[in-house]
Amino acid sequence: MNKAVRFTLHLMVASVLAGCMPSPMQSSVGPVPTVQAPIPQPAFRPTPPVVVQNPWEPDASPRKWRHIVLHHTASSAGSVESVHEAHIGRGWDGIGYHFLIGNGKGMGDGEIQQTFRWREQIHGAHAKSPNNEYNEYGIGICLVGNFEETDPSDAQMASVKRLVSVLKHEYQLTESQVIAHRDVKATACPGKNFPIGEISRSSVFPVLAGQPGTYVTEQPTAFQIVTVERSNLR
């Protein structure tokens, strides 16, 4: 029952007790004055939810993911190709991340690209630790930018929240399993301006029972999804 209805009923009860409530017979005589309670205005009007399909369905059967680890490139520009080349130069077997999110310099602002590691469900090469837990079971997401110096763009924030919220839901991960690279080893990555808490709290809600992969997210936004095949990388 909303407040306005409840308030009106209280008035009616008060009127009966006071002996001034018109009977149904009398109501045809003239309009019964009604008192409208002020309707409280919500302080915040959320954007209407958007229903989307899970766009990050991998080709291979999923690994047993236990973490999502967030990074920055620590550079002002970058793309899957440029990061891939840099990581090959370090002797790795290609770009170490599963996802890269552009900032408009080298890739679209907020553009999400999934790499061969995600499509093929291969371990990452992004968060070394003594037992390699975070490379073996951590989904590596990197945002282009240096967040020691700048903030992620609005488009990057919307995209990373959408990606993290879908992945959390898909692989039953909790907020505490979404971490920054600096939580794994001594590094500034992903920079002091990176809002890891806000991102780790991102959530997604299944809307229609029996329709797996259909979600409603809090962060509707225009974004582009591109898949980069291993064969397209040198």
Paired with 206 in beta bridges are 215
* 128/201 with CB nearer Zn ion: 128
Task: Rule CB under 5 A: choose which of 141, 143, 189, 228 binds Zn ion.
Answer: 189
Burial call 133-143: b when 16+ CB within 10 Å, e when fewer: ebbbbbbbbbb
CA distance 107 to 102: 5
| 67 interacts with Zn ion by CB under 5 A | no
Per-residue x/- track, 144-183, Zn ion (CB under 5 A):
-------------------------------------x--
Name the one range near Zn ion by CB under 5 A: 30-38, 64-72, 161-169, 170-178: 64-72
**Do 110 and 223 form a contact (C-beta atoms < 8 A)?**
yes
Number of residues that bind Zn ion (CB under 5 A): 3
Whether the CB-CB separation of 215 and 163 falls below 8 Å is answered with no
Q: CB-wise, 100 or 189, nearer to Zn ion?
A: 189
How far apart are CB 186 and Zn ion at their closest, in Å?
12
Query: In which order are the strands placed within the sheet that holds 67-72?
Result: 178-180, 67-72, 138-143, 99-101, 112-114, 225-227
User: Beta strand 99-101 with 214-217: parallel, antiparallel or unpaired?
Assistant: unpaired
Least separation in angstroms between CB 233 and Zn ion: 20
Residue 168, SS3 per DSSP: helix
Which span sits near Zn ion by CB under 5 A: 86-94, 115-123, 186-194, 225-233? 186-194
Q: Which listed range, 43-51, 69-77, 96-104, 106-114, lies at the site for Zn ion (CB under 5 A)? A: 69-77
Tokens representing residue 93 in the block: 């077997």
Choose between 143 and 155: whose C-beta lies nearer to Zn ion: 143
Q: Is 71 in the site for Zn ion (CB under 5 A)?
A: yes
Interaction of residue 98 with Zn ion, rule CB under 5 A: no
CB nearer Zn ion, residue 76 or residue 224: 76
* Selected range binding Zn ion among 31-39, 67-75, 108-116, 145-153, rule: CB under 5 A: 67-75
Closest distance to Zn ion from the beta carbon of 46 (Å) = 33
Residue 11 in 3-state DSSP?
helix
* Segments in the chain forming alpha helices (H): 3-17, 80-89, 116-119, 133-137, 154-170, 196-200
Two tokens, residue 171 = 């692989």
Q: Site residues (CB under 5 A) for Zn ion?
A: 71, 181, 189
